[in-house]
Amino acid sequence: MQKKLHIKKGDTVVVIAGESKGQKGKVLEVNRSTNRAIVEGVNMVKKHTKPNAANPQGGILEQEAPVHTSNLMVADPKTGEPARVGRRMGADNKLVRYSKKSGEEIK
């Protein structure tokens, strides 16, 4: 069974450790089996590609590499600072995520 993660696709996150520490970005993809996420504009790497149909010229492309989820924290919706995430019952009796720093609901 795979563990429930504190981040989801579409969240705005802050990198709290590693080479990209302090950078913010939107989560593009989450891989629950490896506990890694791809964040927009964070952990950029150069990839050498052969010419193909998508890229007829080939060459060196820059793209995002996955970051371990332990190095990411959800950005507080109010302040934008890193904040822990809690879960509670919302108005319509559904479980919603909220920021423990400001109490604000995370969409």
pLDDT tens digits along 70-97:
999 999 999 999 999 999 998 899 999 9
Q: Quick check: 20 and 43 in contact, CB under 8 A?
A: yes
Res. 15 pLDDT band, cuts 50 70 90: very high
Decide if 34 is inside a domain: yes
* Domain coverage including residue 16: 12-77
pLDDT tens-place string over residues 35-66: 999 999 999 999 999 999 999 999 999 999 99
Measured at the CA of 82, the angle between CA 76 and CA 85, to 5 degrees, comes to 65
Does residue 102 sit within a domain?
no
The answer to whether residue 22 sits within a structural domain is yes
Q: Is residue 37 in a domain? A: yes
In degrees, to the nearest 5, what angle opens at C-alpha 32 toward C-alphas 12 and 37? 35
pTM: 0.85
User: What pLDDT, on a 0 to 100 scale, did the predictor assign at position 82?
Assistant: 96
Residue 24 lies inside a defined structural domain of this protein: yes
Give the domain CATH number at 57: 2.30.30.30
What are the C-alpha distances in Å from 99 to residues 20, 43, 54, 59, 94? 23, 25, 41, 43, 16
